[in-house]
A and B are shown apart, each in its own frame.
Chain A
Amino acid sequence: MRRESSESPQKRIVNTKYRIIFIGICVILMTSAIYIIGESLQQEQQGAELKAPATGDIPSIPVEAGVFRRSEQALTYANAPENNKNPRTLDTFYDLRAYPGAPPVIPHELINEQSYGGKSCLPCHENGGYVPRFNAYAPVTPHPEMINCRQCHVAVKTKDTFKESNWVTIIPPPINQEAMTGSPPPIPHGLQMRENCLACHAGPAAPTEIRTSHPERINCRQCHALNDKPTTAWTRNTSY
């Protein structure tokens, strides 16, 4: 207070002058900053438009199209937390399926009974992550573009059966079928609608037995060969 009162009126005017100049400079700087940022953003946008991958031009390849999907998140996967509390296992994975390769049932209460799927399912199942409501990490769908989820995935409303069934499931494809000690295990299952490896094999929701240790190696099929069906040896008639 004392200091302020000791300032002369003249000084105050000088201060005000400085303030006006200072504010003026700020305004000029901000305007130019806005202009420069705006300009560069615009350029970036133009660049982005020019550089956008022409995915529309690429004809679809159902078996291959999804191989690299989610790969941009590979590093997130690599650094994802362990799911030690409530890990999914292959047992629980197959419990939800009538046979290996069948669409899994919905094991939890429905978010919206009226919904066909889409926005009811994808918020959790498109990218996964921890869901407090179910105290679990959500499994990731390998085919998020198919949004009519409940066409194939149905709820479990009762444990009873209408009549007993003689249905016998097949044994799930064995895992860890490495040809040699330490060589990469082949892919024991078909890839139709499951061509995106990272969806099921990476992240905290992946069953521990089949969770990859190296999600950042995104060209999975470089090392893991598809061995999903019995094949006969190729024939050659060597006469000697």
Chain B
Amino acid sequence: MNRREFLKQMAAVTAMTAAATMFPGILFAEDQNKTLPNDDLTWKKAPCRFCGVGCGLLIGLSGGRAVAVKGDPASPVNKGLCCVKGYHSVMALYGADRLKTAYVRKNGELVPTPIKEALDLVAQKMQETIKTHGKDSVAMYGSGQWTIPDGYVASKLMKGAIGTNNLEANARLCMASAVTGFISTFGIDEPMGCYEDIDHADVFVLWGNNMAEMHPVLFSRILDQRLKRKDVKIIDLATRTTRTSMAADKSILFLPQSDLALANAICYEILRNGWENKSFIEKHCHFKSGKTNIGYGVEDKFAFKDENTDITFDQYKKFLEDYTPEKVEQISGVSAKDIRYLASLYGDPNRKVTSFWCMGMNQHTRGTWINNLVYNIHLLVGKISTPGNSPFSLTGQPSACGTVREVGTLTHKLPHGVVMNEEARKKAAKIWKVPVENIPPKPSLHTVEMFRALDRGEVKFMWIQVTNPMVTIPKLNRYREGAQKAGRFIVVSDVYPTPTTDIADVILPSAMWIEREGMFGNSERRTQHFEKMVDPPGEAMSDTWQIIEVARRMGFQELFPWDEATHIEEIWKEYTQFHAGEKHGMAPYEVLKERPGVMWPFVNGKETKWRFNAETDPAAKDGDPFKFYGKPDGKAWILARPYEPPAEEPDDEYPFWLNTGRVLEHWHTGSMTRRIPVLHKAMPHSYVELNPEDAKELGIRNGENVLLTSRRGKITLPASINERGVPPRGQVFVPFFDENLLINELTLDAFCPISKQPDYKKCAVKVQKALKSES
């Protein structure tokens, strides 16, 4: 390109940009188009492989390979903009050490084996184990990265065919509290609103959600709105200062766990000022209480069941008296003034408020409670289910909603309803064409308990797909040792070698993402279809087809009769029978293929953007004007949930809080993103963020090695001081993506007794400058 052409292009781009800024939304792909060659590239649509935002991508294909990515301008999610992971996502297909063949452990060594033989062995081992030790001695552990068909055949095999509820997914570690929050407050799962709320809200309150890094495309939509509309405010409520804090209009730091008190204090202030929406509360809400002192699940076989009783509005008000701004200032470290400010934002009838949250609230020993409490705020002021008024629970994985929550690949769930419900079992048995007695009426093992049972020896066979628990399970040392004990048989399906494939007895090579056909479902109830675009390497096979192959070998051919060419379409048709109706109707296969994602409930050819609202949701059409139809009487619950302390707090021996999380450049355990050179170069290894004052006292300088010790393990890693994030004094933060620096050897396996989701955000550690020998 010569200078003249360059300048011409610059002028065109500038003119386009000027035009784009006049319209709301993001509009970005046209810009990118200018730099892309038009010759011989074929572009096909797919949802992004990484986070739960579910950006629409266009994949550039040439010579049988994926060679480029651009944002899909037709996608209402991202309107043509991606993040750095999305733009480089297709490079994750081409790491040099892709698993191309199956491996079977022989005499302690993993030996390359034809995939047919490996599948024979998996089926044979599964059958033998069931025969000798019973149905509940086998388990399957999947993922929110499972496509919808993967999860569906897994559920059908485990619950319908074999007859065990030992089916879990890593989404238990990621959004179980969001689900129990929805179920307890509304009786039905998943957000009532959608991303379009961003275009209407005046105030965004981010509850422990570093959106600038974790949901960057949605965050850009918020920033875009703030530029274009007057008076849009972003409030970052967090335990540490992050990139999100830097972009926010106000950053409020609270002490770990005190979000419970903070949310109650906001409710207290709303009622004290009379800002509540009285008619909304009267028509659409009940006040309830639940059990207290509910424990932390750190002991094996911990059991808990919540019980809710009616309370009066006055009793609720009395309950809130423990949470005056002055009292909560003591618990949370947030000034009473800031608490009143937050309450005034929620309480102002002229402002539309959207709350966003993700792991900060979900990975919490009171995760269900804090979800309930944020709903309480929105319900009290009636700011819900209308454009811009939205309590919005985000997810972390591309199909945590689509597969784990909607298909229900959790021990207590069925594709529609729960195993405890006879009608739900009957419905499943009918669609699956299995005897209803096959489906056990009792939930068995949730994720943490499943790995405990593997350690104890009750589970002897586990098949792990699309997830890397040997990096992500809390208190990792115990569960890694347990998985490697004699008499355990572990099958792992993955695309690259990981610490989890390292301990496997059989490795099955998987076809990933656009190497097969599938669907993902994102955080805003949007289902997105992608077709097979490139061939998988070697003998790699889709997770769906692996399960079908094993099921057939176990004698369940009749339940899995589909043809390889059309099985995804047929599975979709069978699966969507579960959700037929105006509360959860799914779009037909043909519509999914055509559009850049379709939101459910899909009723009479129309997506439902705001549920429970008579104007926008056919299932609520007789609402007045709302109907929370998840509950039998159409009323949502305002649950009085108290502040209770976390499972482990800093003390003299372990004086620091340890918080863990993600970074923008890597996705989860980095097994894909660390193999993308541009992302690895940007973030080559993990680190521990220290507060500068703490570092000074400990004599630690940036980059020097630090020894972190908890009651469960220790790790040496470099210090990061005044870099990306800054924790307050007495707290440290470590990302979990690095398989060479396993922070989960230190974390605690305490969980929310209601959701059974572990708390990765709070445990106690000791921080020391590492001696040379330790570095």
Q: Which residues of A contact B (CB under 8 A)?
A: 50-51, 53-54, 57-65, 67-68, 71-72, 74-75, 78-79, 82, 84, 179-184, 186, 208, 211, 213-219, 221-227, 229, 231-236, 238-240
Residue of B nearest to A213 (CB): B13
Distance from A234 Cβ to chain B, minimum over Cβ atoms (Å): 6
A227 touching B681, Cβ below 8 Å: yes
Residue of A nearest to B6 (CB): A208
- A183 — which chain B residues lie within 8 A by C-beta? 68-69, 87-88, 678
B682 touching A217, Cβ below 8 Å: no
Distance from B87 Cβ to chain A, minimum over Cβ atoms (Å): 4
A61 touching B684, Cβ below 8 Å: no
Q: Which residues of B in the span 36-70 have a Cβ within 8 Å of any Cβ on A?
A: 36-37, 60, 67-70
Residue of A nearest to B216 (CB): A222
Most A CB contacts (10 A, CB to CB) among B11, B21, B28 go to B21
Binds A, one of B163-171, B219-227, B763-771: B219-227
A239 touching B109, Cβ below 8 Å: yes
A54 touching B18, Cβ below 8 Å: no
A51 touching B681, Cβ below 8 Å: no
- A226 — which chain B residues lie within 8 A by C-beta? 681-682
Q: Which residues of B in the span 230-273 have a Cβ within 8 Å of any Cβ on A?
A: 233, 241, 243, 245-253
Distance from A189 Cβ to chain B, minimum over Cβ atoms (Å): 13
A222 to B81, CA, bound (A): 10
A180 touching B109, Cβ below 8 Å: no
B220 touching A222, Cβ below 8 Å: yes
Q: Can you list 17 A-B pairs with a CB-CB distance of less than 8 A?
A: A50-B341, A58-B245, A58-B246, A61-B723, A62-B722, A71-B227, A71-B247, A179-B91, A183-B69, A186-B682, A213-B34, A216-B17, A217-B28, A219-B212, A222-B83, A225-B665, A225-B682
In the complex, whether B740 has a CB less than 8 A from a CB of chain A is: yes
In the complex, whether B685 has a CB less than 8 A from a CB of chain A is: yes
**Cβ proximity bits B68-87 to A, threshold 8 Å, 1 near / 0 not:** 11100000000001111001
B723 touching A219, Cβ below 8 Å: no
- A72 — which chain B residues lie within 8 A by C-beta? 227
B69 touching A180, Cβ below 8 Å: yes
A74 to B227, CA, bound (A): 8
In the complex, whether B539 has a CB less than 8 A from a CB of chain A is: no
Q: How many A-B residue pairs have CB under 8 A?
A: 190
In the complex, whether B739 has a CB less than 8 A from a CB of chain A is: yes
In the complex, whether B10 has a CB less than 8 A from a CB of chain A is: yes
Contact of B250 among A51, A181, A233 (CB under 8 A): A51
A29 to B502, CA, bound (A): 83
Count of interface residues, chain B, beta-carbon cutoff 8 Å: 87
Contact of A84 among B7, B252, B676 (CB under 8 A): B7
In the complex, whether B538 has a CB less than 8 A from a CB of chain A is: no
**Cβ proximity bits B677-700 to A, threshold 8 Å, 1 near / 0 not:** 111111111000001100000000
B243 touching A186, Cβ below 8 Å: no
A221 touching B664, Cβ below 8 Å: yes
Distance from B175 Cβ to chain A, minimum over Cβ atoms (Å): 23
Most A CB contacts (10 A, CB to CB) among B243, B249, B251 go to B243
B723 touching A64, Cβ below 8 Å: yes
Q: Which residues of B contact A (CB under 8 A)?
A: 6-7, 10-11, 13-14, 16-18, 20-21, 28, 31-32, 34-37, 60, 67-70, 81-84, 87-88, 90-91, 97, 103, 109-112, 212, 216-217, 219-220, 223-224, 227-228, 233, 241, 243, 245-253, 338, 341, 344, 497, 502, 507, 664-665, 674, 676-685, 691-692, 722-726, 738-740
B664 touching A222, Cβ below 8 Å: yes
- A184 — which chain B residues lie within 8 A by C-beta? 84, 87
Distance from A37 Cβ to chain B, minimum over Cβ atoms (Å): 19
Distance from B604 Cβ to chain A, minimum over Cβ atoms (Å): 38
B88 touching A57, Cβ below 8 Å: no
Residue of B nearest to A217 (CB): B220
A180 touching B10, Cβ below 8 Å: no
- A62 — which chain B residues lie within 8 A by C-beta? 722-723
Residue of B nearest to A231 (CB): B684
A180 touching B250, Cβ below 8 Å: no
A170 to B34, CA, bound (A): 32
A59 touching B233, Cβ below 8 Å: no
B18 touching A78, Cβ below 8 Å: yes
- A217 — which chain B residues lie within 8 A by C-beta? 28, 81, 220
B251 touching A58, Cβ below 8 Å: yes
- A216 — which chain B residues lie within 8 A by C-beta? 17, 20-21, 224, 227
A82 to B11, CA, bound (A): 7
A74 to B344, CA, bound (A): 29
- B725 — which chain A residues lie within 8 A by C-beta? 61, 64
A64 to B689, CA, bound (A): 14
A59 to B247, CA, bound (A): 14
A234 touching B227, Cβ below 8 Å: no
A210 to B685, CA, bound (A): 29
Known A186-B682, A216-B17, A236-B739; further 10 A-B contacts with Cβ < 8 A: A53-B249, A54-B250, A58-B245, A62-B723, A68-B246, A180-B69, A182-B69, A216-B21, A231-B684, A239-B502
